[in-house]
Amino acid sequence: MSSVEQSPALEILVREPDCFSIWAGPPFPNSKPTSKLEKIPCTSTKFSEDGSKLLVTKPNGVVSIYNCKSLTEIRSFEVPNLLASALSPCGTYLQTFQKSTSPQEKNVVVWNVESGVPVYQLLQKNMSKTTWPSIQFSSDESTACRMVTNEIHFFDTKDFSKGIIYKLRVPGVAAIGISKTPGSYLAAFVPEAKGMPASVQIYSCNKDLQTQPLARRSFFRCSSVQFHWNKDSFGVLFIAQSDVDKTNQSYYGETKLNYLTVDGSHEGLVSLKKEGPVHDVQWSISGSEFAVVYGFMPAKATVFDKKCKVLVELGEGPYNTIRWNPKGRFLCLAGFGNLPGNMAFWDCSEKRLLGSTKAECSVTSEWSPDGRYFMTATTAPRLQIDNCVKIFHHDGFLYFTKMFDRLYQAEWKPEAPEKFGEINDLVKSVGALKIEEPRKQAQGSKAAQPSSSKTAYVSAPPAKPAAYRPPHAKNAAVVQQELFGGLAASGSGEMSKNALRNKKRREKQREKKAAEASGAGENDN
């Protein structure tokens, strides 16, 4: 798209304790956001992956679906004993999980959002991260499947009334991950059992090609995995997590980053240059490169291509989070959670640091769909105080801050990055210096300086916190004032009457002690 004016408007969902609202996104007139949808009562909210629908859970088990273009309610479902709900990526289907009242009751229902009728029902005894949503969809909704004991069941996404159309047997399967777009492949994880190693296998979603896995990776010391498919479904990165670190270097277990391609051209570990856990990994929007932050603190950050060759070394720092810009050029390295909130904004194509700043106590963070802004939020129940939303420019310059008594959610409405213009015009005004020593730049030892008279919007480094003073020391100046009559505090001036009286008393005591000591010496002689 050549014209930025034709791009859709940015929108932000903000959820407070009992309601949510939709803000018109930046730039804000008069530095204040305007509401496109006033406060609506709710208990939870979630956009569909493509941003076309909004799921709103209301009190008393009511689930409402909103059209994100018109911001109007298009369908409402009353679901007794509701425990969870989820929209399919394109907003076509709604899944609800109810508390079962009998062992035979089918408590998971798949609803058609447009018609409002249930199209499929099944029984699920419990819910976990690996089993919910019960039926998983690819991003384009071309594939839908469900993991059960030793099998994976596939459905026709156009007609759920057909039920299970075919089954893939994978003994011991514990987790699955469908490729994004196209949804042509599926990764299945089988944990260790009876001395056999754990494994991740890639299968085709085409029934005729499922006789053998297309690729396979086996390994020991693994209890769970996290799948990360790239955009073109060429390969999958997965973090293998072990609950116990046999080297005793980490209390939180051991993690390894593996890479597996659908054609079998790459199968093995990603070579990382520092020991320690894998904190985060994320593919760029192009799917041709990925970034990893790893190792014991200070963590190291590296950008690889899809053949696992190093493209850019981003140095070391207190980081555990990676966020790729939707345009694929910029990247934010951050340290959230139990880290102080440092953020570094990089132009990976030109290998330069654009700016650095801090967002302390942030719980969530994400780029805007157009790639121009980066938003962080401090939310409850993780943190009950200092809840806020902060929006930064793509170079780390703080643009907007708003505090809340209690904030539960803040997120951008999803949009396809292709709908927005490029941001090369923004980069031209940033006089960031091309890096020569990535390690020092990443650690912020020498901030990038403007190379021309143009102003670089780089936030000033945060002020160093003052040294801790115990409560009794805070009144030390007052105590000194009373004891020494202001002499100790000011360092000059005449003594007060009380201080002068105390001084004379001490001198008399010293003279008396000296006289007694000399008298005792004469008696001894």
DSSP 8-state symbol, 30: G
The encoded tokens of residue 106 equal: 């089918």
| Beta-ladder partners of 167 | 153
Q: What is the pLDDT of residue 477?
A: 53
End-to-end CA distance of the chain: 110
Long-range contacts of 293-302 (CB under 8 A, 24+ apart): 293/319, 293/320, 293/321, 293/322, 293/333, 294/257, 296/249, 296/250, 298/443, 299/274, 300/272, 300/273, 300/274, 301/333, 301/442, 302/272, 302/273
Q: What is the pLDDT of residues 409-449, one digit of tens each?
A: 999 999 988 888 776 654 454 343 333 334 444 444 443 44
Verdict on whether the full-model pTM lies above 0.85? no
Q: What is the pLDDT of residue 407?
A: 94
- What backbone torsions phi and psi does residue 140 show, to the nearest 5 degrees? -95, 5
Q: What is the pLDDT of residue 322?
A: 94
Which burial class, exposed, middle or buried, applies to 400 when counting CB atoms under 10 A from its CB (0-12, 13-18, 19+)?
middle
Q: What is the pLDDT of residue 458?
A: 38
Residue appearing with tokens 């004032």? 481
Report the C-alpha gap between 109 and 96 in whole angstroms: 5
Split the chain (525 residues) into runs of 10 and give each run's mean pLDDT.
64 92 88 87 92 91 91 91 92 91 85 92 86 90 91 92 91 90 86 88 86 87 88 87 71 84 85 90 89 92 90 91 89 91 90 91 92 93 91 92 93 89 56 39 41 37 54 52 42 62 84 76 56
Q: Which residues are within 8 A (CB) of 186 and not within 5 positions of it... i.e. 6 or more apart?
A: 143, 145, 152, 168, 176, 177, 178, 179, 202, 203, 204, 205
Concatenated DSSP letters of 166-177? EEEE-TT--EEE
Q: Minimal CA–CA distance to 349: which of 367, 322, 329? A: 329
Q: What is the pLDDT of residue 251?
A: 66
Q: What is the pLDDT of residue 485?
A: 43
* Mean pLDDT, the chain, whole residue set: 82
